[in-house]
Chain A
């Protein structure tokens, strides 16, 4: 009788397959389906790319109008030569998909609030956050407007979409990107809406910090009271060196925003101490405070060649696959090279054969909250201007892996979507009903700005192109072969009265509404200034003579701008190599100002031997954040500790986390006057501490921490900072950790732990353009490809690649050209 062994064997076999065909829970995450994942015929092994892969191909596509030749160089950068403008975006879409499909899909899923669909109920509150913020709503506005009014952009985005989908159509299931297999889901068709969602995500990344900051500042004001708040979070920046040089005259203001008569009591000095929070929702990580950038252009008067040089390095989260993908686009109408966004057509930061352009974040406040009173829990009506006003409802259905759909019904008001209410709240929202008004909700032709910049021939073209730009506000720098340099802060900006929108505003009547948008002609702009350079580094664009309020000063880092301007002013006979050296410069101008200010209050004789030793080490430091420097670590730990001693006590008692004041506040206070009432430790009642006392306390505490760091061999800056380029899923094994690189906050080389120069570009506008650049990643998004992280070490070393920007025949014959992909009409 063999029935029993048969049954036993069958059961074991079926169980084994079932287990290996299931995602098994491990802690908070899940394994891939192990049998599938390990299968060398379908699983991850299929993504292990041959080192000597030949990328030659011949591709037939129905959507093409003509023939397109793509030559790939040895860094896997495609040089696309097309017979017409639409074909080129089809091919760009195809190549983005071929090398970055998973990333494009993942980033737009985040933006659309669709993570739960692939990762399960854990991500539900993050999905709700993006839905309620109006990310999908905003993308829909843009899509509708472009479809109805802009046939050229529609054709461009449609061609791009068709290209992505053409790649996916020929992609066999075993060759889908690695991450799909790891997380066990499938690619889905690309749509134009996904391109707009991606651009919404950039708006969020660059202007969405207000979504958290406005709540925190409101709660900080409530806790401290406005008078103390205004001392610690002052908008005064004595050492500001603005983008538009001081003394430049601005156009006469056409708008005169006025604070409401009751603003003092009902807004600035309003306090609301109630904390009532149930069912707290987790929010996504707030956009990095250091999301910023450097850009500058020097005119021919300052260069060795007599031609301008333009530099741009956007500081963003450092991720693998990188946000950027290098590409050359050449059609009969234009020839452009630069960094593109997988997910969007055209080049975003780059140059063509007439000019070069770059961007930095403007940092202006374009997102506000209005507090509402609803008639009842149905949220069908809210109180506005003395009457009940009807809401509309927007339904967002969130699919959840292994679970039922979740339906979010969002009340829409004339302010915007209701972001927070009793259903969706966190400790900072405190259960308030808050509608969010954000310029990113407006339909936007952002794609067209880049489309036109790619084709711009001169300064007028550049101005016309950027005039279309709405959100996120950017500083567009430009230099032409003919010798012009210019910079303009561009976007939809609110004509604000002082401190308007820093805190949650009353939304029960129109008095706190935006009183107008600043006309384009009044945006800060400068062309060919006498000093021979234009620059920006996220500092305030203008001094106090500008007629509109820009937003809270904590949005405008002060020190990189000082460094850039000081260095550029002193340079002459500049070469492209000098500009590379400046982009990777590690001088710490903040420390140069902070150390002497701090030393005014250090009583050496009262310090312990260890602390004295550390202070000496700080004073002997050369002020450069070099990777092997110990002085910077000592300075940073001492400074943070002193700050904490000065204002940590004021903030410590709050039941919810408060915003830390900016470092410049303490430096400038120390420089102005060594008496600072905030210095008093409010936890001691029998004594009034002075700044000197608190500096002493801070340094002694720091010296303990430094001793511990020294033991762990983490006093060296690169070890302390541990810069990493992190895979989008935050999986260490797919990331590059502990890179030997200097720089930091306030440094031109703005590389922090997981943030920094995400694309470095130097363009010398000689007849045959001489350009250099790279980003910390690689052209392939496949962790199994040698091109996955091939630029990372070169980037960390502060070196550059010469960018190949050549006409077709020259490129074809170039020694770096390795492969040919031919696209023809099917």
Chain B
């Protein structure tokens, strides 16, 4: 793939799809999406910061999207309780945000590492 404008949406999409799909096979550890992100970033060479962003956005979107969907169907019953156990003053918005950030960071760091490996 040479077209950079094409590579960005493709790797975001691949990250997201892989993260979603591997989550369905739950015998694998919860961080398995980091392996898929790593492989995707190895396969699609990009500048390190671009790799980070595509990996981060792919996983971050899935995690935020899933959490938001689940939370709406649950009318915030559980998220409000959890946001009181974790010190978030019962804010489900914050909890969804933190969930998304965790996915974003881990996904991004994994892709970033792969991208550096390719260049090392």
- A residues contacting B by CB (< 8 A) are 1-3, 5-6, 9-10, 12-13, 16-17, 20-21, 31, 34-36, 38-52, 172-174, 178, 182, 731-734, 783-786, 788
Contact = CB atoms under 8 A, between A and B. Distances in A.
A1 B86 CA distance: 42
Contacts of B113: 6, 9-10, 13
Contacts of B110: 13
Contact of A13 (B84, B86, B109): B109
Contacts of A20: 31, 102, 106
28 contacts: A2-B119, A5-B116, A10-B116, A13-B34, A13-B112, A17-B106, A35-B106, A36-B30, A38-B102, A39-B63, A40-B66, A41-B23, A41-B30, A42-B26, A44-B78, A44-B82, A45-B79, A48-B73, A48-B79, A49-B74, A50-B74, A51-B73, A51-B75, A52-B73, A182-B85, A733-B90, A734-B81, A785-B77
Contacts of B91: none
A178 B48 contact: no
Contacts of A783: 77-78, 81
Contacts of B98: 38
B117 interface: yes
Contacts of A40: 62-63, 66-67, 70, 99
Given A9-B116, A35-B31, A45-B99, A174 B106 contact: no
Interface in B79-103: 79, 81-82, 84-86, 90, 98-99, 102
Nearest to B79: A48
B26 A174 contact: yes
Nearest to A39: B30
Contacts of B30: 21, 35-36, 39, 41-43
Q: 10 closest Cβ contacts across the A-B interface?
A: A41-B23, A784-B78, A733-B84, A6-B116, A40-B66, A48-B74, A2-B119, A13-B109, A48-B78, A9-B113
A389 B30 CA distance: 58
Contacts of B81: 733-734, 783-784
A12 B73 contact: no
A697 B66 CA distance: 64
A732 B84 contact: yes
A10 B23 CA distance: 23
B105 interface: yes
B5 to A, nearest CB: 24
Contacts of B77: 48-49, 51, 783-786, 788
Nearest to B65: A40
Contact of B74 (A1, A174, A784): A784
Interface string B1-38: 00000000000000000000001101100110010000
A9 B99 contact: no
B74 to A, nearest CB: 4
Contact of A6 (B71, B102, B117): B117
B61 to A, nearest CB: 11
Contacts of B75: 51, 786
Contacts of A43: 30
A20 B110 CA distance: 14
Given A35-B106, A45-B99, A51-B75, 5 more contacts: A5-B48, A16-B109, A35-B30, A40-B66, A173-B27
B22 to A, nearest CB: 8
A47 B63 CA distance: 15
Given A3-B120, A39-B63, A51-B74, A731 B85 contact: yes
Given A16-B105, A17-B34, A731-B85, A45 B116 contact: no
Chain B contact residues (Cβ within 8 angstroms of A): what range?
35 or more
B23 to A, nearest CB: 3
B31 A45 contact: no
A47 B70 CA distance: 9
Contact of A45 (B66, B105, B109): B66
B26 A41 contact: yes
Given A9-B112, A16-B106, A2 B120 contact: yes
A105 to B, nearest CB: 20
A263 B76 CA distance: 65
Contacts of B63: 38-40
A625 to B, nearest CB: 30
A51 B117 CA distance: 46
Contacts of B106: 13, 16-17, 20, 35
A174 B23 CA distance: 10
Contacts of B119: 2, 6
B34 A42 contact: no
B74 A6 contact: no
B92 to A, nearest CB: 10
Contacts of A45: 66-67, 70-71, 78-79, 99
A41 B112 CA distance: 23
A31 B87 CA distance: 11
A170 to B, nearest CB: 14
B31 A178 contact: no
A9 B74 CA distance: 38
Nearest to A43: B30
A5 B115 CA distance: 10
Contacts of B102: 20, 34-35, 38
Contact of A2 (B26, B62, B66, B116): B116
B64 to A, nearest CB: 9
Given A45-B66, A48-B70, A6 B120 contact: yes
Contacts of A788: 77
A42 B110 CA distance: 20
A61 to B, nearest CB: 23
B23 A42 contact: yes
A21 B116 contact: no
Contacts of A31: 86
Given A6-B116, A9-B112, A48-B78, A733 B70 contact: no
Contacts of B66: 40-41, 45
A330 B7 CA distance: 63
A376 B59 CA distance: 66
A49 B102 CA distance: 23
Contacts of A733: 81-82, 84-85, 90
A6 B119 CA distance: 9
A699 B112 CA distance: 73
Nearest to A173: B26
A20 B75 CA distance: 27
A626 to B, nearest CB: 30
Contacts of B67: 40, 45
Contacts of B120: 1-3, 6
A732 B82 CA distance: 11
Contacts of B26: 41-42, 172-174
Nearest to A41: B23
Nearest to A178: B78
A278 B99 CA distance: 48
Contacts of B82: 44, 733
Contacts of B31: 17, 20-21, 35
A35 B31 CA distance: 8
A731 B85 CA distance: 8
Contacts of A3: 120
Q: Which of A46, A178, A733, A785 has the most CB of B within 10 A?
A: A733
Q: Which of A1, A9, A50, A172 has the most CB of B within 10 A?
A: A9
Nearest to B38: A13
A17 B109 CA distance: 10
